[in-house]
Amino acid sequence: MREAASGVQPRGQPVVEVLCEIMQRHELAPGRLIDLIDAREDALEAPLDAARVGGGLADLQLDALGVRDAASRAAAHAVMMARRMGEGSERQALLAQARAVRAAIDPASLPVLLPAVLMRRTYSPWRRPLALWWAAKWGRY
């Protein structure tokens, strides 16, 4: 990753080559991806840090979508952290926190926020796409 960030041709590893191409195409900051990889690597040795991993993934996704506002970032961080937690009051509090700023988010951030719809309740396989479509149509998550 550091090689690609400096403009050097990445090693002949297919995963590295694809990640470098995505970073260049979307003009993503290499530091964000490196931080996410480091967080996942640390998770192999210790319990998953939902805030670090979820926040890093949310930042990368929002950067790729061109979303820069603070409200969208706060909501995306909360949703991505909630995805990495088990069911419970902490997860519900994060989802409520994300929904509290719904009026202020950039609509372009909806692809990152829509998984919150599926955490609200259990949908049958054929209803999931409909629930997501409906939520996207009305800007709800």
Q: Render pLDDT for 28-81 as a digit per residue (tens, 0 to 9).
A: 878 877 877 777 777 666 666 777 788 888 998 999 999 999 999 999 999 999
Contacts of 95 (CB under 8 A, 6+ apart): 78, 79, 82, 116, 119, 120
- What residue segments make up the domains of the chain, in order of their start? 70-141
Say what the pLDDT of residue 138 is.
92
Say what the pLDDT of residue 134 is.
95
How far, in Å, CA of 141 to CA of 139, rounded? 7
Contacts of 6 (CB under 8 A, 6+ apart): none
Query: Is 90 exceeded by the pLDDT of residue 14?
Result: no
- Tell if the pTM clears 0.85, that is, is over it: no
Say what the pLDDT of residue 3 is.
57
Say what the pLDDT of residue 111 is.
95
Classify residue 125 as exposed, middle or buried by CB count within 10 Å of its CB (0-12, 13-18, 19+). Answer: exposed
- Greater confidence (25 vs 93) lies with 93
